[in-house]
Amino acid sequence: MNEQRPALAISSLALLVILFLQIPVIVVMLASFSETSYLTIPPQGWTLKWFEAVLTDRIYLDAIKNSLILAVGSTAISMVLGVAASYAIFRKMVPGSEALTSLLMAPLIIPSVVIGVALLQYFTLVGMRGSLLVLLIAHVVITVPYIVRSALASLSGIDLAVEEAARVLGADGLTTFRLVTLPLIKPGLVAGALFSFVTSMENVPVTIFLAGPRDTTLPILIFTSVEMGVNPSVAAVSTLLIIATAVALLAAERWTGFHRFV
Amino acid sequence: MTSLRTGFLLLSPLLFVLLAAFVVPLLLLVPTSFQEYRPGQGIATDAWTAQNYARIVADEFYREVVLRTIGLGAAVTLCCLVLGYPVAYLIVRGDPRWRLPLTLLVIFPLMLNLVVRSFGWIVLLTNRGVVNNLLIDLGLIERPLRLMFNLTGLMIGLTHIYLPFMVLMLVAALQNVPRDVEAAAATLGSSRLHVFRAVTLPLTAPGIIAGSILVFVLTISALVTPRMLGGPTYQVMATLIYDEYMQLLDWPSGSALSFALAISTILIIWISSRMTKRWAGLA
């Protein structure tokens, strides 16, 4: 059979578009090493001073710390709650599994900014505004759909006979889940966890309405400081995020074949 | 069997969180949207009004923002489709050795912090930014072009942000097109362009529609990129909601606009999923 490859024009156009996707990344990284506070191409003089500025700045360090606490915390909570709920839905333990799935996925469909203002009004009413706990709850709401989606997708790929075999051999429900089901859905869950982590780590539309002055996160800090103009230390902290993202993506790809789950 | 009890036990923690921190807050927003905001006094709770909703279509400023948001959504969707299709085609039909690296290069910007990506475009597009400096150095322009705080900046930024979603949807669709069908059409004498138009394109239509709906919905609800590249003056619906809550403190108008946005996205997704199901039934 004649296996035709895409025409040269199509391939070149596609490669240009892929280059277009990387351009802001490349520019930010160049800007962060540039001596001048305004970026020129090629950069005039190389320096690490912006990185030093970021890594010795309390405001940045606190924001990074808050972001990591929120991302790790909300992903862990979403993982436990989300996998438990998905398993109950998948095994049809309760009626109305379709409606339940829609409810669990709903935070993905409602625009984030709407969730943000709804939570702002709600937490103001109950007098809980301005604490990391409120942000943690909000981040669980916005990250849990990613866990549920990957858990349900992974579970649907499991042959139920494997679970039944374990039960026949005398394992109780929890043991079966731990030793048989969980290892089978693990790659999907790792992918879901990475999505959840990234979602929490980059969230602005919900966080900005709820974060008090003491619990600013990294994206909020970048978002607000950009309003005062282009600042090379923003480029430096962005470069750190770019490197962390690239490492995480490659690691996830190596361990789980991440691209299959996107 | 106690499977029902186990089920409730497994589901209730998450259901409780979603009820308390998602469903109830959204429902509490409904009464707010029917209250009246009096400048200088705050929110009047003694009277109900539908004015906040009426204003969205009646007021000239609101109408402009809504139309701009919808137009931007349509234009960004079209750009993503036109730019995304060749990329998806190269990934699926190109050299298999390049498939994984190219896919990862598409996923990478998607996983990268949205604020960082938007910041990258600011560095490029601002008055003294990379693009303007380059054009001036090359002697192509004398004074910096206005690339930010207007439609140009938002189009570039939003297309860049949502392009990966479109590519991934199209990759999935193209993978489902059987090569045999294309080969059969080619054997029967069709040119490559004709094979593409008559076979490949119609067979990937579900992916095109799904990708377009996704990009459109994401674009009209975007806050971060429009704010960072559009500034406080070039408003879209999400940035207007943000200002009404944080700057103007006009929560009633903000919540009415929020519902208008949320209900539009839900309707678009609902209608499209019904249409897709019906087509699947016909096929």
* pLDDT higher than 70, residue A159: yes
Residue A173 burial (CB < 10 Å; 0-12/13-18/19+)?
A: middle
Closest CB to B130 among A41, A209, A234: A41
**Higher-confidence residue: B28 or A227?**
B28
Confidence of residue A81 (pLDDT cuts 50, 70, 90): very high
Residue B39 counted as domain residue: no
pLDDT 10s digits, B51-89:
889 889 899 999 999 999 999 999 999 999 999 999 999
CA distances (Å), B9 to each of A94, A228, B200, B267, in order? 10, 50, 48, 33
Specify the length of chain A in residues. Answer: 262
Residue A129 touches chain B, beta carbons under 8 Å: no
Closest CA to B203 of B106, B100, B92: B92
Say how far apart CA A228 and CA A20 lie, in whole Å: 26
Report the complex ipTM. Answer: 0.90
Q: Residue A92's closest chain B neighbor by CA?
A: B7
**Higher-confidence residue: B41 or A140?**
A140
Among A81-95, B29-43, B112-126, B201-215, the minimum mean pLDDT is found in B29-43
Say how far apart CA A83 and CA B180 lie, in whole Å: 40
Q: Which positions ≥6 away from A163 have C-beta within 8 Å? A: A176, A180, A181
DSSP string for residues in B93-127: HS-HHHHHHHHHHHHHHHHS-HHHHHHHHHHHHST
Please give the average per-residue pLDDT across A181-207, as a whole number. 93
For residue B258, the enclosing domain spans 51-277
Interface touch A110/B26, C-beta < 8 Å: yes
Quickly count: other Cβ atoms within 10 Å of residue A169's Cβ.
8
pTM for the whole thing? 0.91
Q: pLDDT > 90: what percent of chain A?
A: 58
Residue B134 counted as domain residue: yes
Residue B10 counted as domain residue: no
pLDDT of A1 reads: 41
Residue B242 counted as domain residue: yes
Residue B163 counted as domain residue: yes
* pLDDT higher than 70, residue A41: no
Average pLDDT, chain A: 89
In this structure, what CATH number is given to the domain that contains residue B259?
1.10.3720.10
Domains, chain A? 1-47 (no CATH), 56-261 (1.10.3720.10)
Residue B8 counted as domain residue: no
Please give the average per-residue pLDDT across A84-106, as a whole number. 92
**Interface probe, candidates A8, A70, A83, A93, chain B, greatest B C-beta count within 10 A:** A93
pLDDT 10s digits, B182-199:
888 888 888 888 888 888
Closest CA to B254 of B57, B53, B102: B53
Residue B136 counted as domain residue: yes
Domain count, chain B: 1
The sign one gets for the Cα dihedral B201, B203, B208, B213 is positive
Q: pLDDT > 70: what percent of chain A?
A: 96
Q: How far is CA B169 from the centre of its chain?
A: 14
Please give the average per-residue pLDDT across B2-27, as a whole number. 92
Residue B4 counted as domain residue: no
* pLDDT higher than 90, residue A206: yes
Which residues numbered 147-206 in A keep a CB inside 8 Å of some CB on B? 173, 194, 198, 201-202, 204-205
pLDDT of B247 reads: 87
**Higher-confidence residue: B278 or A47?**
A47
Q: Residue B166's closest chain A neighbor by CA?
A: A262
Residue B267 burial (CB < 10 Å; 0-12/13-18/19+)?
A: exposed
Phi-psi bin for A53: left (phi > 0), alpha (psi -120 to 50), beta?
alpha
Quickly count: other Cβ atoms within 10 Å of residue B129's Cβ.
22
